[in-house]
A and B are shown apart, each in its own frame.
Chain A
């Protein structure tokens, strides 16, 4: 049995058998049939639940005449990302804001969850950032094809047709490397933050690790910002007319 957090244990106690049964039907056999839900998945579900409740609260308290504090803070986040998106994508950026902001909230909450005792960051396990990166990859290619149709192929072959045999593999590899770099950047930052805190905790168990928790807080915010910005930059490159 793997080590489980209390929330994972709760989920496994209630839904473990059903999950194993469901996965069995799909042809997947988890390593631990009694505990098929891993910590990362449990934390992810928790983040999704918290976000759903949060947005339901925000939606219920929206008001044009008397905007509350919650509405102001959410609007501030929206305006900040909209400003960045306008700078990167330019005209017609509004369409891509919902995805960027949603993925931003998800990653931010996932990163910050690691600071709460009794929980851990789902982004500190490689599968969760990989999921975000793959969704981003599919999303920007989808919009690239949607806006440019067949001209989208030109982004891969380059402007000169004679050199396309050289450009195509380079572009393909660089696009695939984006998945890797998005994944590893987020995962390794969160994971290394935990490791550094643990290492200093084992050296000096009092007061010193707090400084590294503060650093972890800062890194969480910066990595969220970078993930969202890179999503917007890749989108901007995909949907831009001339390349």
Chain B
């Protein structure tokens, strides 16, 4: 255990020392390319928030089905259409990011 911990701390120390090495680029950076970072943040926000929304939908559907299994067809219809509408917002983001970055 101690051996493993020692190894871990050693690795961390090495990485800390080495971190200035990562930051070095050839000469002064002309301009940072923020595109990929923006894509990551945008897509992450869209996907994460839509995940929260779809989670709520799925929770409600599970509850509704547990209460009244006989109403399955109507509930499933609402489930699919609701999920499709939430999901399409993420897909709008995806398409926008794609057409903005890939010319």
Contacts and interface: CB of A to CB of B under 8 A. Distances in A.
Interface of A: 83-84, 87-88, 181, 184-185, 187-189, 192, 222, 225-226, 229-230, 233
A185 B81 contact: no
Nearest to B84: A226
Nearest to B80: A226
B77 A222 contact: no
Interface string B61-86: 00000000000011001001100110
A189 B91 CA distance: 7
A225 B81 CA distance: 10
Which secondary structure characterizes the binding site on chain B? helix
A192 B94 contact: yes
B89 to A, nearest CB: 9
Given A184-B91, A187-B95, A188-B95, A230 B84 contact: yes
A222 B80 contact: yes
A183 B84 CA distance: 12
Contacts of B84: 185, 226, 230
Which residue, B73, B80, B84, B92, has most C-beta atoms of chain A within 10 A?
Answer: B84
Which secondary structure characterizes the binding site on chain A? helix
Contacts of A230: 81, 84
A165 B68 CA distance: 43
Nearest to A88: B77
Contact of B87 (A185, A225, A229): A185
Given A87-B73, A181-B88, A226 B81 contact: yes
Contact of B95 (A87, A184, A226, A233): A184
Interface of B: 73-74, 77, 80-81, 84-85, 87-88, 91-92, 94-95
Contacts of A87: 73-74, 77
Given A87-B73, A87-B74, A188 B80 contact: no
Contacts of A189: 87, 91
24 contacts: A84-B77, A87-B73, A87-B74, A87-B77, A181-B85, A184-B88, A184-B91, A184-B92, A185-B84, A185-B88, A187-B95, A188-B88, A188-B92, A188-B94, A188-B95, A189-B87, A189-B91, A192-B91, A192-B94, A222-B80, A225-B80, A226-B80, A226-B81, A229-B80
A222 B77 CA distance: 12
Given A188-B91, A233-B81, 10 more contacts: A87-B74, A181-B85, A184-B88, A184-B91, A188-B92, A188-B95, A192-B94, A225-B80, A226-B80, A229-B80
